[in-house]
Structures are given as structure tokens and as C-alpha cells.
Amino acid sequence: MNKVKGLIAATFAAYKKDGSIDLDAIPSYVEYLIEQNVSGVFVCGTNGEGPNLTVEERMAITEKYIASVAGRLLVFVHVGHSSIIEAQRLAAHAQEQGADYISSVSAFYFKPTSVNNLVDCMAQIAAAAPKLPFFYYHIPALTGIQIDMIQFLQLAEQKIPNLAGIKYTAATIHEYQACLHYKGGKFDILFGYDELLLPALAVGAKGAIGSTYNYGAKLYAKVMDYFSEGKLEEAEKLHFQAVKMIQLLVKYGPIPTQRAIMKKVGLNLGISRLPLVALNGEQEQNLYLDLSDSDFLSLVASC
């Protein structure tokens, strides 16, 4: 299996005014992302509000993305669910529809209590789509699952034949590096913290999945180019522009802020479902002023 390279955009959910999912928004969203030169899309994950959607909605979104992409981008489908049976349904559906990869978080209500327990759960989900490469989605900040990922790989490689690797969304760069080097780089470890992309490149990252790649991919791609060319000072300065933008996500709230930024670049994806709350008018205007001061979107456009 070839390893994934480049930037994968973790797409946002699109809603109509009545709160139902907006499938019609997906084709233009895909065309926009293709213009941003991303390598693929990761659908129904954290930013796609997968846990807030019904299984039927997630299936419909998956079908629409696969049809709209039409082979031009890689399609990762997040199938994680608190119910393993529902996750299996999503995995089997993704395989049937022609997705390229599946990925799953751990259950986040009744949580696995050990590495063995986690691997057994992921093995059942991955087995529902045996033809698709499977990525475990490691995001301890949201799931609360703090488990040694090297131990996970050691056990998972024995029980998950289609294990491709890990979507590693954590700030523990040393463990990320250890996973990259496990058995000579046997598995694909995709990095998931956009604000730490440059440090991840320094320890060997080649592929990354993230939310800010939806509207900032060209800037991050330039950071990757500078790094590969040995222009480390230029890479650091440009990467810091992304860091300053990400500080706004902390200030206003990650997903609502980014949905407002997507509206700013021309894609109005509607209002998230509760418990997520959209920025109010004043917050949105303040965000746009901060964005203008940072010049981030202009930098992206110039890359």
C-alpha cells in the first residue's frame, strides 16, 4: 500500500436553514478543495460533526462526496460511533460505495479500558470493510483515551489485517515519531495537529489531515515545500502565520470559527447542530477584523 502524502482536508458538515444536511453544497465544496490542491478529504470526522449526525445522514454524505470527487481526490470516511454495530454498518457502506480509506475513533461513552480492549473494538470495525485500509483515529483530547500508540500498533498488526496506520491527532511529537519509525516505517502515521505541522515534518511526517487545510492548504503546502528545500527559516516564518490564525480558533471556538472562515472564503455551510453554537454577529465581525489584521487569507492567496 502506498503511503498518503500531502494535505487531507477534514471537511465541515453542511446544513440547510431547517437544520437538515445540505447534500447540494458538497459538489461546489469539492471543487473548491480541488482548487486548494489538497490530496484528499476526510469526511464525517470531528469537523464534519460525525457524532452529531445519524448513520443514514453519514451514509448520504459519504455517497455524495464519493460521487462529487469522482476519483480526483482520496476519500477517507470516518466511521467511528459509540455503537460498534453502527460503526460496522458505516464501514461496510464506505467499502460498498468506493471509498479509499476508513478511519474510526474509539467509543467515547463506554470507553476501552486497555490496549487489548481498544484493539478488539477496532478489529471488529475494520473487519466490516476488509478491502479498505483502516486508520485508527487517535484524538485523546476528545475521546479521553490515553493509550500507548506503540503498544496499539504491536497488538493491532496481529488482529487487524487491513490496518494502514494511525490518524495521529495529539501533541506528543515524540510518540508520533516513534510510531513513524515502528518496524522501519511499516505503518502510515498521518499527523492531525495543524499548528504543529512543521515540528511533525522535522520528525518525518509526509501526510497530514486537518481542518485548517480547508482554507489554508496553499500556505501549509508552501511550508512543506520550504522544508523539503532546506529553507527552514522561511518555513518557520510562514508556519507562524498559520499559528497566529489558529490562535483565533482558540479565542472564538474551533469549529464555529472555522465555519465562519469558510463563509468568508465563499462557502456558507449553515449553522452547526447543538451543542455546537455559531458565532453571533458581533463575534463574527470581530473575527473578520482579526483575520484581516493577521493577513492570513491574503497570504494563502499569494502562495
Residues marked active site are found at: 137, 167
Rounded to a whole number, what is the distance in angstroms from the first to the last CA of the chain? 31
The span from the CA of 197 to the CA of 172, in Å, is 12
- Burial zone of 162 (CB within 10 Å; 0-12 exposed, 13-18 middle, 19+ buried): middle
Q: d(Cα 75, Cα 69) in Å, to the nearest integer? A: 8
Q: With b meaning 16 or more CB within 10 Å and e meaning fewer, what string describes 218-244? A: bbbbbbbebbeeeeeeebeebbebbee
Torsion of CA 292, 293, 298, 303, to 10 degrees: -150
Cα dist from 57 to 52, 61, 90, 245, whole Å: 10, 6, 11, 31
Residue 101 belongs to what H/E stretch? strand 101-104
Q: Which residue type occupies 216?
A: G
Checking phi first, is residue 238 left (phi over 0); if not, alpha (psi -120 to 50) or beta?
alpha
Rounded Cα distance, 239 and 222, in Å? 9
